Amino acid sequence: MRTPAFLLIWLVIAAAVFAGSLAIGNDYVFFAGYVILQYVVLSTAWNILGGYCGYVNFGTGAFFALGAYSTVAIYKFIGDSELPHVIPIPVLMLVGGAVSGVVGLGMGYLTLRLRGAFFSIATLALAVVLETLVVNWDYVGGSRGAYVIRPEEMPLIGNYIRYLFLMMMLLSVASITIARLIEHSRLGYGFATIRDDELAAEASGVPTLRLKLIATTLSGALMGMAGAPFPYYIGFLQPDSTFGLDYAVNSIAMPLIGGTTSWVGPLIGALLLGTLQQVATVTISSAVNLLLVGVLLVVFVIVAPNGIVGLVRTYWQRKPEEFVGRRRVDADAPGSVP
């Protein structure tokens, strides 16, 4: 399937979901749905570096928070000036994405020469350093946190939360489209070789450092874009909960549970686990959420290493096939060589 067709189909699905949610008539759907969609973006973003390239990033929270704090900085700046008070979310996303993307590039430059485990530990370290810097920056509220006042209504759509939901939905569609585009391109092949054997990849002509930098930048940027609307969603932003490991564990668990080799995995993982967490929060307590994530992560990683996608494939084909070949010769995939 060509990318434009894929994009169109998903936009139609998104429109249908939005319309359906409006029809339900309860705004809680939008509040809960926003979080789930946010995780679709975060998981997909994480998977680009983690699943495709094999580099585990523990710093999801940091990139997410950078996007959020970019928005706070803009909000404060606007508030102090004479400019109109409401900045469209897409603009905020672009700014948040740019900031996180640049940081992602920088992080990659500093850490990608390190082998696997050291890279992951370094991402953890970087996240804490970034958090400390933000906590000590009083302009955005520091450790006291920052208040952001949500506009009441948006024209045509109604409640502002619906607008946020719609924007996050569009970002989700964009994310999975980008992920799929990568998979079917030369870049996707390159990522796979990095995951499988970096030394052999280099020997085959793959510019591994450059590709890894692309992955960290793109991954970081998408995470920042997911974080940009967050201050408007939550109203009161606090550094320790925003930068925290909770985002890391979710963005790692969801692709691992769903399946790391394609765009489908993070989507399924985020939808399932995200919904489960929303249900658990309402019925039991919000602390149980993370226990759920932890347990499912451990169970899946032991029992179903290829995730739900892997299980489905095995069941479907009656043949345990660990990964599918990137493309088959008989498929009609066009123009993959740029």
Partner 1 sequence: MNSIANGSPNTGLLQIDNLGKRFGGFVALENISLSVPAGERLGLIGPNGSGKSTLVNCICGTLRNEQGAVRFDGRKLDGLEAHQRTRLGLSRSFQLPRPFASLSLADNIRIPLLYTVAARGTIHSAREVDERCHHLLGEVGLEAKAQRLPRDLTQVEMRKLELARAMASLPKLLIADEAMAGLTHSEIEEILTLLSRLNDQGVTIILIEHIMRAVMSFSRRLVVLVSGKKIADGAPDAVMRDPEVERAYLG
Partner 2 sequence: MIFSFDLLINAIVSGILIGGFYAAVTSGVSLAFGILDIVNIAHPAFIILGSYVAYIVNTTFGIDPILTAIVATPLFYVLGAGIYQIYYVSFEKRGQESLRGLAFFFGLLFITEVSLVLYFGVDYRYVNASYIGPTWHVGDVDLPLRMMVPCVVSLLLIAALQLILTRTFIGRAIMAVAQDQLALRLMAIDPIRIKRIAFGISIATASLAGAFLIIIQPVEPSVGREYIGRVFAICVLGGMGSLPGTVIAAMLIGVVESLTSTFYGPSWAPAVSFGFLLLTLAVRPAGLLGR
Q: Is 121 in the site for partner 2 (CB under 8 A)?
A: yes
Q: 148 near 231, Cβ under 8 Å?
A: yes
Close Cβ partners of 325 (under 8 Å, ≥ 6 residues apart) = none
Q: Is 326 in the site for partner 1 (CB under 8 A)?
A: yes
Q: Is 135 in the site for partner 2 (CB under 8 A)?
A: yes
Distance CA 194, CA 80 (A): 47
Distance CA 309, CA 313 (A): 6
Q: Is 200 in the site for partner 2 (CB under 8 A)?
A: no
How many residues belong to the site for partner 1 (CB under 8 A)?
33
Phi and psi torsions of 4, nearest 5°: -60, -40
122 binds, among partner 1, partner 2, none (CB under 5 to 8 A by kind): partner 2
Q: Is 172 in the site for partner 1 (CB under 8 A)?
A: no
* Part in contact with partner 2 (CB under 8 A); list of ranges 3-11, 80-88, 107-115, 151-159: 107-115
84 binds, among partner 1, partner 2, none (CB under 5 to 8 A by kind): none
Count helices and strands (H / E) in the chain.
15, 4
DSSP tag of 51? I
Q: Is 140 in the site for partner 2 (CB under 8 A)?
A: no
CB of 207 to partner 2, least distance (A): 22
Distance CA 70, CA 100 (A): 9
121 binds, among partner 2, partner 1, none (CB under 5 to 8 A by kind): partner 2
Give the x/- contact pattern for partner 1 in 240-269, rule: CB under 8 A: ---------------------x--------
Q: Calculate the alpha carbon distances from 13 to 17, 50, 124, 161, 297 in Å.
A: 6, 27, 36, 20, 29
Phi and psi torsions of 159, nearest 5°: -50, 140
Close Cβ partners of 99 (under 8 Å, ≥ 6 residues apart) = 66, 67, 70, 224
What residue type is assigned to position 266 of the chain?
Answer: P
Which residues 198-217 are close enough to bind partner 1 by CB under 8 A? 199-209
Give bridge partners of residue 146 from the DSSP assignment: 237
Q: Is 195 in the site for partner 1 (CB under 8 A)?
A: yes
* Part in contact with partner 1 (CB under 8 A); list of ranges 12-20, 74-82, 89-97, 194-202: 194-202
Question: Site residues (CB under 8 A) for partner 2?
Answer: 50, 54, 56, 58, 110-111, 114, 116-118, 120-122, 124-126, 128-129, 131-133, 135-136, 143, 245, 248-249, 252-253, 256, 260, 287-288, 290-291, 293-295, 297-298, 301-302, 305
Question: Site residues (CB under 8 A) for partner 1?
Answer: 186, 189-190, 192-193, 195-197, 199-209, 261, 321-323, 325-329, 333-337
